[in-house]
């Protein structure tokens, strides 16, 4: 079974060039967001900034009317589990963003022409390893200090998803109703800014319109092969707990 997989992304370094690792080590009462790229990270954090007044210590796109409270502990973001492992798990909180691994892999294979694309049998160990490391790091955190958010829930049920996040962060939901009423306007502002900054990388292609946007471009047979390969690579308990929801037929 042949499928196009991008290898470079998942073989990159274990830490980012921008992260302030000393800040990670010293953080107290902060919130950290850990995710793969292309999982709604910018939108989620921009929304939390708007709803809570807590500033993300990263140069992200923001909702224009966001107001910050300088007395609140900041939020941090990382795509690298090795960085999150430096954080004190008893004194901080962790949000893990997860998106269908099929969408993440195919998004990169489709939109990075300058990267090394490989047409061969699926090399799951290389391509999905950071996904595995991310979930394993999440499992190391105390249950009361961790919260898992699915990209698909952000799209299909934003009100309850953000309300749950605010409760986890011990933040008020007083701005949530107004936010939801204007969510399309806020989302467009963030996506437009994202597209300008990351035009070279393809920008926001699906724009949150379809949870199976990229998977529709490959056959059901290839999807089944990818699901099987990922299931065989990941520990069974982690697969059942976090990713089993994705073994559903792609709506075409």
Domain residue extents for the chain: 3-246
- The pLDDT of residue 180 is above 80: yes
Q: Which residue has the higher pLDDT, 50 or 197?
A: 50
Quote the pTM value: 0.84
CA distance 191 to 185: 10
Mean pLDDT to the nearest integer, 199-222? 68
Mean pLDDT to the nearest integer, 90-94? 97
Enter the tokens of residue 211: 């949870």
Q: Who contacts 147 (Cβ-Cβ below 8 Å, separation ≥6)?
A: 93, 94, 95, 96, 164, 165, 168
What does DSSP say about strands 75-78 and 117-120: parallel, antiparallel, or unpaired?
A: unpaired
Q: Is 66 exposed, middle or buried (0-12, 13-18, 19+ CB in 10 A)?
A: middle
Nearest to 89 by CA among 142, 17, 168, 162: 142
Q: What angle do CA 67, 53, 72 make, to 5 degrees?
A: 125
Fold of 3-246: Rossmann fold (3.40.50)
Q: Who contacts 198 (Cβ-Cβ below 8 Å, separation ≥6)?
A: 204
User: For residue range 216-246, what is the model confidence (pLDDT) as tens digits?
Assistant: 777 888 888 888 888 888 889 999 999 988 8
User: For residue range 133-179, what is the model confidence (pLDDT) as tens digits?
Assistant: 999 999 999 999 999 999 999 999 999 999 999 999 999 999 999 99
The DSSP symbol for 35 reads: E
Mean pLDDT to the nearest integer, 43-49? 94
Element (H, E) at 32: strand 31-35
**What DSSP line would sit under 147-164, residue for residue?**
EEEEHHHHHH-HHHHHHH
Other Cβ atoms within 10 Å of 168 Cβ, number: 17
CA distance 251 to 67: 39
Q: How confident is the model at residue 5 (pLDDT cuts 50, 70, 90)?
A: very low
Question: Which residues are registered as beta bridge partners of 76?
Answer: 32
- The pLDDT of residue 13 is above 50: no
CB-CB contact of 32 with 77 (8 Å):
yes
């Amino acid at each position: 079974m042949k499928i196009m997989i991008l290898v470079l992304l998942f073989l990159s370094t274990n830490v980012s060039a921008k992260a302030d690792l000393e800040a990670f080590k010293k953080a107290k009462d902060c919130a950290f967001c850990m995710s793969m790229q292309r999982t709604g990270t910018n939108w989620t954090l921009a929304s939390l900034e708007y709803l809570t007044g807590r500033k993300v210590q990263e140069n992200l796109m923001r909702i224009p009317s966001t107001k910050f409270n300088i007395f609140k502990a900041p939020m941090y973001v990382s795509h690298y589990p090795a960085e999150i492992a430096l954080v004190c798990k008893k004194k901080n909180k962790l949000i893990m963003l997860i998106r269908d691994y099929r969408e993440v892999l195919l998004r990169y294979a489709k939109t990075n022409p300058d990267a090394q694309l490989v047409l061969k049998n699926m090399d799951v160990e290389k391509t999905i390893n950071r996904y595995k490391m991310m979930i394993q790091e999440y499992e190391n955190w105390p249950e009361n200090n961790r919260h898992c958010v699915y990209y698909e829930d952000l799209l299909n049920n934003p009100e309850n998803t953000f309300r749950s996040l605010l409760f986890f962060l011990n933040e008020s939901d007083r701005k949530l109703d107004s936010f939801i009423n204007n969510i399309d306007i806020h989302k467009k502002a963030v996506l437009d800014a994202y597209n300008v900054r990351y035009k070279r990388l393809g920008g926001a292609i699906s724009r949150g319109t379809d949870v199976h946007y990229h998977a529709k471009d490959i056959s059901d047979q290839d999807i089944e092969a990818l699901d099987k390969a990922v299931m065989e690579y990941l520990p069974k308990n982690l697969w059942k707990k976090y990713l089993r929801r994705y073994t559903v037929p792609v709506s075409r």
